[in-house]
Amino acid sequence: MDQRYLEPAEFVDSEHPSIQAFTRQSLAGGGSIVDQAVALYYRVRDGIRYTPYLDYADPEMYRASSVLRNGFGFCISKASLLAACGRAAGIPARIGFGDVQNHLNSPRLRQINNGDIMRWHAYTDFYLEGQWVKATPAFNLELCSRFRVTPLEFDGRQDSIFHPYDADQRLHMEYLQMRGTFADVPLDRILATWREYSPQLLGNTCNGDFAAEAEIV
For residue range 53-81, list pLDDT tens digits in order: 888 999 999 999 999 999 999 999 999 99
Indicate the number of domains in the chain. Answer: 1
Cα(41)–Cα(45) distance, integer angstroms: 6
**Helix intervals (H) in the chain:** 17-26, 33-47, 64-70, 75-88, 107-113, 141-147, 187-197, 210-214
Q: pLDDT band at residue 164, thresholds of 50, 70 and 90?
A: low
Helix axes 17-26, 33-47, angle to 10 degrees: 110
Q: Quick one: 162 exposed, middle or buried, by C-beta within 10 A (0-12, 13-18, 19+)?
A: buried
Q: pLDDT of 84-128, one tens digit each?
A: 999 999 999 999 999 998 756 678 888 888 888 999 999 999 999
Total Cβ atoms within 10 A of residue 25: 9
Q: What's the CATH number where 36 sits?
A: 3.10.620.30
Cβ–Cβ under 8 Å, residues 191 and 203? no
Q: Supply the pTM of this predicted model.
A: 0.91
Q: Which domain holds residue 37?
A: 3-214
